[in-house]
Amino acid sequence: MSRKIVIGSRESKLAVIQTEMVKKYIETNCPQMQVEVLTMKTTGDVILDRTLDQVGGKGLFVKELDKALMDRRSDLSVHSLKDMPMKVPEELPLVAFSRREDPRDVLVLPQGMSELNFDKPIGCSSKRRILQLQELYPQATFATVRGNVLTRLRKLDEGNFSALILAAAGLKRLGLEERISRFLEPEEMIPAAGQGILGIQGRAGEDYRFLDTYNDADARDCALCERAFVRILDGGCSSPVAAHARIKEDQILLLGLYYDEMDGGYLKGSLSGHRDQAEALGEQLALQLKAEYGRRNSK
């Protein structure tokens, strides 16, 4: 018996490509299912004249999609996991995690350029990126850039910025890997929690077993670890908390960045443990870095 599945997606080109990847998987592995995509503009896509922390954070990218799920206009939502709030409603759980694409941030120069021109700002809207870039490029200045990836690239090529910092995963999925001028390794720039992973959200109590073989165990454990770190530190969109986990055999290594809202200082650290303890490891490193920062600054 055929079953119809409607997948909710933001309407940007990258969001649709990511949703089509999930659609194709379901169609290939569950030929009895009829799959449709429902696209919509989210509040985060509409308000582009202010930074996300000024208008409500990451929830702006999921509100409309959550409502479509609750209203049963859709059965699944596909999100870039890094854009999802750290706390998801119990009635709308994450039901699957994609295999992780390249999690690194990258430097993108204007077309035809091979060197950074420090006379112009680097286009970057994320405090997390700016904090870490100031270590790499102390002479750089920064300016806010919003909009989807293609809009940002157009602004870069029009001469507004010396460079952009973007996620490698988005550029690769858009087929724009050739625009990458330099990969920033996680040791140089800790990525956003969940970067490179697609989070599939569904409704509590529904049967999503058809996604069992889509669900990637390594990505899931890394995501749980990273998101636990950020959640403990209450790192929303406005806080530059960062976390990146890697799995080798049964061990998970977590890099984390703690940021102090009071004085603007930060501290990086790492911790490893068994992957079965992914969430506990994230929580432990968050508390360790917070305590260590407090000790250093109380002397």
* DSSP secondary structure letters along 26-47: HHHH-TTEEEEEEEE--HHHH-
Confidence (pTM): 0.90
Complete domains list, the chain, with CATH: 1-98+197-215 (3.40.190.10), 105-184 (3.40.190.10), 216-299 (3.30.160.40)
For the cut 50, the answer to whether the pLDDT of residue 41 exceeds it is: yes
Neighbours of 263 (CB within 10 A): 9
CA dihedral sign, ordered 55, 61, 64, 66: negative
Choose the most confident range, by mean pLDDT, from 49-53, 54-58, 183-187.
183-187
Neighbours of 135 (CB within 10 A): 10
Percent of the chain with pLDDT over 70: 91
pLDDT for 262? 84
For the cut 70, the answer to whether the pLDDT of residue 189 exceeds it is: yes
Query: Which whole number is the average pLDDT over 237-251?
Result: 87
Identify the active-site residue in 83, 102, 105, 221: 83
How far is Cα 6 from Cα 78, in angstroms, rounded to an integer? 11
Neighbours of 152 (CB within 10 A): 21
Going by DSSP bridges, is the β-strand pair 242-248/94-97 parallel, antiparallel, or unpaired? unpaired
At position 104, the amino acid (one-letter code) is R
How far is Cα 220 from Cα 201, in angstroms, rounded to an integer? 13
pLDDT for 43? 56
How far is Cα 95 from Cα 212, in angstroms, rounded to an integer? 9
Residue carrying the six token digits 């109590």? 205
Comparing C-alpha atoms, which of 59, 67, 1, 58 is closest to residue 38? 67
How far is Cα 205 from Cα 212, in angstroms, rounded to an integer? 15
CA dihedral sign, ordered 163, 164, 165, 170: negative
pLDDT for 299? 67
**Beta-carbon-side half-sphere exposure of residue 202 (alpha carbons within 13 Å):** 14
pLDDT for 177? 96
197: tokens are: 């992973």
How far is Cα 62 from Cα 68, in angstroms, rounded to an integer? 10
3-state DSSP assignment of residue 17:
helix
Residue carrying the six token digits 């911790």? 271
204: tokens are: 């509590």
For the cut 70, the answer to whether the pLDDT of residue 45 exceeds it is: no
Higher-confidence residue of 83 and 119: namely 119
3-state DSSP assignment of residue 141:
coil
97: tokens are: 């995690």
59: tokens are: 């929830």
Q: Reply yes or no on whether 83 is catalytic.
A: yes
